[in-house]
Structure 1
Amino acid sequence: MRLYSFIVIFFFSLCAFAQQEVAETKVVDSLYREDQFYLNFTYNNLQKLKGLNQNKFSSGFCIGFLRDMPINKSRTFSFATGLGYSLNIYNSNLYVYKSQASNGVSDNNYELLSQDIYYDKNKLSLHYIDLPIEIRWRASTPESHKFWRVYTGFKLSYLIGDRYKFVNDVQTNIYKKNPDLNKLQYGCYMAAGWNTWNFYAYYGLNPIFKSGEIDGEKIKMSTFNVGLQFYIL
């Protein structure tokens, strides 16, 4: 939570400084590039798993850089590609526990907890490095940084860290480096809005888990994230 607060304060301070600098200099740049740094906050909704219930708020956070490459003279159309980091948190009734196999290897097991089972926390946290590429349309001009925009893209994400935590009255279980998780995630997204406020949506095209079963059924669980995206420079 402290990391979230620091990043938000830093981002909006940078944004205010940049806007003040532009206002003071009033330089018209006909070869401008737009929206090269981004930040978003989302609600994460898990899909395609029957019996799954999400509890509490499943949040997402993403920050990164996109190189803007205009393709027309007025610079209202462009391509962009870059690099980012994202953290996705899922609070649900998907329970993970380990059992000892006959060969001594510890296996992950999965279960959907019923509503009458008490637990304080059941959370999966996933950290990714993102490679986004997008097509951009905007109603921008060299004189104004306030305009309408519609950006659509495709994002490839590589899992660099994972952490599962379960807490109830009698135990606290923490598991990391789950081999059943998909290392590679990909999906489509869109950001659209006016000036500072932009609606953001991402739909994952492949499952979060590459293996793992519940009652003999594969965990074909994907994500749909919606929220707000902010841009600077």
Structure 2
Amino acid sequence: MKPLYKVLFIFFGAQFCYSQTDSLSAVDHLYKEDQFYIGITYNLLGKKPSGLKQSGFSSGLHFGIIKDMPLNEARDVAIGVGLGVSLNSFNHNLFIKKDSDGNLSYSILDDGSGYSKNKFNRQLIELPIEFRWRTSTPTEYDFWRIYAGFKLGYLVNSTTKFKGDGGSFKYHNIEDFNKLQYGLTLSAGYNTWNLHLYYGLNPIFSKNAVLNGNDMNTNILKVGLMFYIL
């Protein structure tokens, strides 16, 4: 994912520029925290039907802005509501194929199948909502945080790619992906480094996606790091 390096360069450059080390600045007792976020995750498929496996590295890149709204005088408890973008890839052995009439079919590629690429990419617009606890003060910028929340996402683009003995083809925005995605989130850590978890509460496929006569209730689990900056 080549844009990842560019985003990380911009992120760490911005973090340097926004460094809060100016001892001459006035103490802001109405401070707010963590207005921007960027995350990197390893994406897992959960509730997999029999035979479905992942291969290679399935990655996610997530970034956006959050409005921090403190709830108490100490400003160490807050609600965060934001808007962001999520870019995700999944490598797997699920064979997705369209017939001449445009109908989709699903099957599992066995270990002897010859293919060099089988993946789908998904891009979503997301609305994160977080309940935030932290140990920050108006003058302390290295602190512990625990942010638990809910994330609502809308699928704006998807691509399914295959390259192997059965040919090479690519499908854009197949109709069997659920447009609406939602799940629970948790970010916890100290200062810059924060462990981030996302657990999808609904399947990524609609009821129309059937494998061996059964609905695919596959959801998404993301594990990675989240970085917050002002």
Task: Decide: shared fold, TM above 0.5.
Answer: yes
Question: What is the SS of the residue equivalent to 1:120?
Answer: strand
TM-score when scaled to structure 2?
Answer: 0.96
Match in the other structure for 2:61: 61
Identity %: 44
- The whole-number CA distance in structure 1 between the counterparts of 2:12 and 2:24 is 20
Q: Which amino acid aligns with 2:64?
A: G
Aligned residue among 164, 171, 195 for 2:191: 195
Aligned residue among 173, 195, 207 for 2:169: 173
5+ residue gaps in structure 1? none
1:38 and 2:37 correspond? yes
5+ residue gaps in structure 2? none
Residues 24 and 9 (structure 1), Cα distance of their counterparts in 2 relative to 1, 3 Å cut: farther
- The whole-number CA distance in structure 2 between the counterparts of 1:23 and 1:195 is 18
The aligned length equals 228
Match in the other structure for 1:80: 80
- The whole-number CA distance in structure 2 between the counterparts of 1:7 and 1:189 is 22
1:119 Cα offset (Å)? 0.8
Q: Which amino acid aligns with 1:212?
A: A
Q: Which runs of 4+ in 1 moved over 4 A?
A: none
Match in the other structure for 1:119: 115
TM-score when scaled to structure 1?
Answer: 0.95
1:52 Cα offset (Å)? 1.1
CA deviations over 1:11-52 (Å, ceiling 9, x no partner): 100001111x54364331110000110000000110112211
Aligned residue among 203, 221, 224 for 1:227: 224
RMSD over aligned Cα atoms: 1.2
Match in the other structure for 1:218: 215
Residues 24 and 172 (structure 1), Cα distance of their counterparts in 2 relative to 1, 3 Å cut: farther
1:224 Cα offset (Å)? 0.6
1:91 and 2:101 correspond? no
